[in-house]
Structure 1
Amino acid sequence: MQITRLLLIFVVAFGLSACASKFKTYDGPEVTRIYVLKGERRMLLMNNDKTLKDYRIGLGFAPVGDKKFEGDGRTPEGDYFIDRRNPESRYHLSIGLSYPAPADIAEAHALGVSPGGDIFIHGRGKFYQKGRDDWTAGCIAVKDEEMEDIYAMVRDGTPITVLP
Structure 2
Amino acid sequence: MQLFNRRQASLAILTTLAACGKGNSVKTAPAPVFKRYAGPAVTQVAVYKDKRRMHLLSGDMILKSYDLGLGNAPVGQKKFEGDGKTPEGLYYIDRFNPRSRYHLSIGISYPNQRDRAYAAQFGRSAGGEIMFHGRGPGGNVVAPNKWDWTAGCIALTDTEIEDVYAMLRIGVPVWIHA
Q: Do the structures match in fold with TM over 0.5?
A: yes
Equivalent position of 2:166 in the other structure: 152
Equivalent position of 1:24 in the other structure: 35
User: C-alpha offsets along residues 114-153 of structure 1, whole Å, 9 cap, x if unaligned?
Assistant: 0000000000002613210100000000000000000000
Counterpart-to-counterpart distance in 1, 2:35 and 2:144: 26
Moved over 3 A (4+): none
- Structure 2 gaps of 5+ residues are 1-21
Equivalent position of 2:155 in the other structure: 141
Structure having the higher Rg = 2
3-state SS of paired residue (2:145)? coil
- Structure 1 gaps of 5+ residues are none
Instruction: Quote the offset at 1:93 in angstroms.
Output: 0.2
User: C-alpha offsets along residues 17-41 of structure 1, whole Å, 9 cap, x if unaligned?
Assistant: 8x42xx1011100000000000000
User: C-alpha offsets along residues 40-81 of structure 1, whole Å, 9 cap, x if unaligned?
Assistant: 000100000000000000000000000000000000000000
Equivalent position of 1:75 in the other structure: 86
Equivalent position of 1:120 in the other structure: 131
Equivalent position of 2:74 in the other structure: 63
Equivalent position of 1:47 in the other structure: 58
TM (norm. structure 1) is 0.88
Counterpart-to-counterpart distance in 2, 1:158 and 1:94: 15
Counterpart-to-counterpart distance in 1, 2:96 and 2:50: 26
Q: Percent identity?
A: 54
3-state SS of paired residue (1:52)? strand
